[in-house]
């Protein structure tokens, strides 16, 4: 029997054909409003809006700009283009920048600068991305909350915390809620640590895209559509590789997909835990992964995404996931109620109406030019050293005619990657765990 596995799950395009029965989680209650700050007349807030924007415009290297406690209303974007500035509030639930009435600008705060630190404040209800940091070095994002307080909604901004084309980046102790694309998104960057954050009720909780050398650890990803994504888009000039995903809790990511039509994550099925797509040298270890209804881990290629009809392909793009090492994770539940009629049908055919997929799904695509005696050489393999956990090969190349489990083919190990070492001055922060 041929099953066209509606997009076997590509990390970002796992085509979910039927979302009518997806579980739409309820948003957590928004943080209570803080006191109105001096100079902030409540909902109008023109006074503090103008004050803060002027401080950002007048900033000089070394400046620390303070955001007092209070709920400060803004109707247009803020921007910063000066290196060496710190923006500091009094706590992510005390110093709140609210863009609920935003009428101008694509972001809440747009930063085009290096040596930038932002800490201890919240950015709520922006029209577009909440916090975007573009083309900078030495970026610290700590104890920040980005949230759309109305809960999951297609009209919400795409990204919560969004460093892109950056180098030497630390994102820690932050919260991202309600983004219609990704809560925490690191794109086209290098040397990145994402740790101790919570991503909830986003389409993608934490997303590492076309990024080189990233550590993602001690985070909680729950009630998203997909928990943690590591992938390469085919139309970008730099291919990502070298990500470690470890010591995270990734559970119950079963929220219905609410991404805008045409967005890269619009077809991620509800119920995906950790996903790797077209990315190499990825380690997934020591995570607690549970109760993700489609699958706890998915490994997939460009050919399962649907990108072929939507995006160009960069020269030398490698569509195949290689050198993937999965070990020492703790799995429970999950796989029992996959999203989309094709996945439901496949699960029922293989495991019965009350069964469940194995903890790991793989679309089965390999580069035929790299095969040796019909197999990938050990240094390019997908290796699983995870106790009794199994990986189902859904046989995408042959139209899903012969899906099956062959753990002997993946009984291998790969060299373990060294921890990401951020360059000064951020190296002291990661060493001390500050």
pLDDT greater at residue 39 or residue 338: 338
Q: How would residue 159 be classed by pLDDT, with cut points 50, 70 and 90?
A: very high
User: Which region among 10-19, 122-131, 184-193, 318-327 has the lowest average model confidence (pLDDT)?
Assistant: 10-19
Per residue in 327-347, pLDDT (tens digit) is 999 999 999 999 988 889 999
* High-pLDDT (> 90) share of the chain, %: 77
Please say whether the beta carbons of 167 and 191 come within 8 A.
Answer: yes
Omega of the bond leading into 425 within 30 degrees of 0 (cis) = yes
In this predicted structure, the answer to whether residue 29 has a pLDDT above a threshold of 80 is no
Return d(Cα 182, Cα 204) in angstroms, integer.
Answer: 4
**390-413 b/e (C-beta count within 10 Å ≥ 16 → b):** bbbbbbbbeebeebeeeeeebeee
Q: Pairing between strand 272-277 and 295-300?
A: parallel
Q: How would residue 5 be classed by pLDDT, with cut points 50, 70 and 90?
A: very low
Q: How does the average pLDDT of the chain come out, rounded?
A: 89
Return d(Cα 95, Cα 276) in angstroms, integer.
Answer: 36
Average pLDDT over residues 36-59: 69
Q: Tell me, what's the pLDDT at 265?
A: 86
Average pLDDT over residues 91-115: 97
What pTM does this model have?
A: 0.89
Per residue in 258-279, pLDDT (tens digit) is 999 888 888 788 999 999 999 9
In this predicted structure, the answer to whether residue 88 has a pLDDT above a threshold of 90 is yes
For the sheet with 226-231, list strands across it: 76-80, 104-111, 129-134, 159-164, 182-187, 204-209, 226-231, 272-277, 295-300, 360-362, 391-393, 404-405
In this predicted structure, the answer to whether residue 418 has a pLDDT above a threshold of 70 is yes
Q: How would residue 127 be classed by pLDDT, with cut points 50, 70 and 90?
A: very high
Per residue in 347-387, pLDDT (tens digit) is 999 999 999 999 999 999 999 999 998 889 999 999 999 99
């Amino acid at each position: 029997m041929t099953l066209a596995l509606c997009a076997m799950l590509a990390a970002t395009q796992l085509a979910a054909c039927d979302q009518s029965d997806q579980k739409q989680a309820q948003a957590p209650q928004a943080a209570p409003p803080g006191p109105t700050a001096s100079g902030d007349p409540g909902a109008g807030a023109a006074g503090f809006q103008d004050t803060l924007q002027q401080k950002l415009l007048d900033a000089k290297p070394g400046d620390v700009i303070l955001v007092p406690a209070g709920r400060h209303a803004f109707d247009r974007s803020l921007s910063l283009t000066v290196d060496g500035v710190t923006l500091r509030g009094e706590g992510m639930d005390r110093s709140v920048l609210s863009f609920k009435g935003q009428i101008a600008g694509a972001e809440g705060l747009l930063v085009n600068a290096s040596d930038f630190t932002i800490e201890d404040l919240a950015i709520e209800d922006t029209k577009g991305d909440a916090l975007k940091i573009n083309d900078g070095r030495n970026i610290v994002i700590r104890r920040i909350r980005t949230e759309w307080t109305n809960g999951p909604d297609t009209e919400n901004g795409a990204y919560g915390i969004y460093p892109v084309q950056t180098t030497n980046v630390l994102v820690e102790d932050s919260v991202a809620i309600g983004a219609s694309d990704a809560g925490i998104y690191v794109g086209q960057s290098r040397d990145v640590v994402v740790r101790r954050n919570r991503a909830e009720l986003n389409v993608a909780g934490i997303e590492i895209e076309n990024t080189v050398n990233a550590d993602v650890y001690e985070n909680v990803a729950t009630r998203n559509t997909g928990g943690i994504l590591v992938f390469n888009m085919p139309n970008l000039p730099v291919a990502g590789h070298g990500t470690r995903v470890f010591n995270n809790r990734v559970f119950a990511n079963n929220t219905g997909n609410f991404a805008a039509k045409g967005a890269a994550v619009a077809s991620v099925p509800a119920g995906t835990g950790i996903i790797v797509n077209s990315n190499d040298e990825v380690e997934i270890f020591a995570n607690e992964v549970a109760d993700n209804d489609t699958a706890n881990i998915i490994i997939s290629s460009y050919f399962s995404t649907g990108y072929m009809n939507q995006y160009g392909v960069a020269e030398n793009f490698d569509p195949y996931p290689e050198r993937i090492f999965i070990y020492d994770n703790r799995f429970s539940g999950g796989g029992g109620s996959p999203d989309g009629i094709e996945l439901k049908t496949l699960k029922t055919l293989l495991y019965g109406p009350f069964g469940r997929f194995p903890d790991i799904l793989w679309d089965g695509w390999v580069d035929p030019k790299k095969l040796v005696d019909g197999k990938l050489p050990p240094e390019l393999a997908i290796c699983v050293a995870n106790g009794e956990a199994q990986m189902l090969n859904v046989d995408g190349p042959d139209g899903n005619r012969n899906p099956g489990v062959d753990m002997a083919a993946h009984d291998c190990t790969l060299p373990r990657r060294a921890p990401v070492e951020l360059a000064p001055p951020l190296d002291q922060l990661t060493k001390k765990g500050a």
